[in-house]
Amino acid sequence: MVTVRVPASTTNLGPGFDVLGLALSLHNEITLAPIEGVGVTVEIVGEGAADGALPRDEHNLVFRAAERAYAAVGQTAPAMRIRLLNRVPLARGLGSSSTAIVGGLVGANSLLGRPLDDETLLRIAVEMEGHPDNVTPALMGGFQVVSATDDEVIHLRLPMPRGLRAVVCVPAMEILTDEAREALPLRISHRDAVFNVGRVALLVAALTQNRPDLLSRAMEDRLHQPYRSTLLPGYDAAVEAALGAGAAGACLSGSGSSLLALTTDRAAAVGEAMVAALRDHGVEARAMELPVDEEGAVVLD
């Protein structure tokens, strides 16, 4: 039996569409226990336990990831009992599916005696998830810049400024990833593409050179947020409220529906401001201050 702790992740940070990701200290715990016989049973505690959204058999994403790890070394996954302690909300732009993929891969690799290195696990995770920005920080931790092609995954970990805090506002409403993808236009203008290239460069420079005063501009985006934000009533008001309460910058977390604010102080006030702004638009929400997770996926036992 093995238990893996995997962090939530927030991606894009505004303009870094599919290339920037940050691990957050909100964790799911995945326990894999091989058993005699056949079949897979999944016990779910916490997020997703009550609504039947997650499969409780061999179709569960954790087991599917474990199967991929076993297949990578030429073996067939055994029957398993799986327990999921889920703290990461589903369909909120916080990487819940990535925790399942990474947890299944890391857990199975541990059961096998760890024959697969992190780069191999990452390549499998990206193949399963379809894009690298959530799974890379979930596996590796910290602030990650990622570029993936069909042949390779290039990633570089960058330092986050000390004292910069992440505040996540989690609405009660879900936005499914497929729904968020469908909201995107098929074409964008050259001008908007150049705008985002500049903002991504400015964001990385501001974070690595500890210039929080630049983050409100650096986290601006024209590729996805103008389209996805229409799915969340009160989005613009919540961002304005966060900035007004002292946030250095604010944006959608991943594809939403959660919001991410970065602040050097007044984290509680920033969270309360976002919650109040969404409530004024008929959306209930809660706020969490989440330190950066520097470890990534960790085998607990």
Q: DSSP readout, 136-203?
A: HHHHH-SEEEEEE-SS-EEEEEEPPPTT-EEEEEEESS---HHHHHHTS-S---HHHHHHHHHHHHHH
Q: Are residues 276 and 183 in the same domain?
A: yes
Checking if the pLDDT of 301 tops 80, the result is no
Whether residue 98 is found in the same domain as residue 228: no
Residue 284 and residue 170 share a domain? yes
**Residue 69 in contact with residue 233, Cβ under 8 Å?**
no
Residue 129's domain is classified under what CATH number? 3.30.230.10
**In this prediction, what percent of the chain has a pLDDT beyond 90?**
87
Most confident range, picked from 49-53, 147-151, 234-238: 234-238
> Please, which residues have CB within 8 angstroms of residue 248's CB and are 6 or more apart in sequence?
164, 212, 213, 215, 216, 262, 263, 264
Pick the closest to residue 43 from 59, 27, 31 (CA basis): 31
The verdict on 19 and 139 lying in the same domain is yes
State the pLDDT at residue 135.
97
Same domain, 132 and 179: no
Report pLDDT for 198. Answer: 97
49 with 88, same domain? yes
Greatest Cα pair distance, the chain, in angstroms, is: 60
Residues 11 and 148 in one domain: yes
For residues 252 and 260, is the Cβ–Cβ distance under 8 A? Answer: yes
Instruction: Provide the domain limits for residue 89.
Output: 2-158+293-299
Confidence of residue 285 (pLDDT cuts 50, 70, 90): very high
Flag whether the pTM goes above 0.85: yes
Residues 260 and 189 occupy one common structural domain? yes
Backbone region of residue 136 per phi and psi (left: phi > 0; alpha: psi in -120 to 50; beta: other values): alpha
d(CA 285, CA 276): 8
Kindly report, residue by residue over 189-223, the tens digit of the pLDDT: 999 999 999 999 999 999 999 999 999 999 999 99
Average pLDDT (17-33) is 97
Assign 280 a pLDDT band (cuts: 50, 70, 90). very high
Overall average pLDDT of the 25-42 stretch: 95
How far apart are alpha carbons 247 and 225 in whole angstroms? 18
pLDDT digit string (tens) for 40-97? 999 999 998 887 779 999 999 999 999 999 999 999 999 999 999 999 999 899 999 9
* Phi, psi of 212, rounded to the nearest 5 degrees: -60, -20
Total structural domains within the chain: 2
pLDDT category of residue 8 using cuts at 50, 70 and 90:
very high
Mark whether 171 and 36 lie in a shared domain: no
Per-residue pLDDT tens for 108-144?
999 999 999 999 999 999 999 988 999 999 999 999 9
Q: Report, as an integer, the average pLDDT of 248-263.
A: 95
**Is 198 found in the same domain as 255?**
yes
Query: Residue 139: is it exposed, middle or buried by C-beta count within 10 angstroms (0-12/13-18/19+)?
Result: buried
Average pLDDT, the chain: 94
Question: Are residues 234 and 117 part of one domain?
Answer: no
Residues 240 and 268 placed together within one structural domain of the fold: yes
**Looking at the DSSP assignment, which residues form a beta bridge with residue 44?**
84
- Is pLDDT at 293 greater than 90 in this prediction? yes
Residue 101 has pLDDT above 80, yes or no: yes
How far is CA 277 from its chain centroid? 23
Distance CA 82, CA 156 (A): 32
Please compute the mean of the pLDDT values over residues 228-236 and round it to a whole number. Answer: 93
Helix (H, G, I), strand (E, B) or coil at 54: coil
Q: pLDDT band for position 179 (50/70/90)?
A: confident
Confidence bin at 148 (pLDDT 50/70/90): confident
Domain of 187, CATH number, reads 3.30.70.890
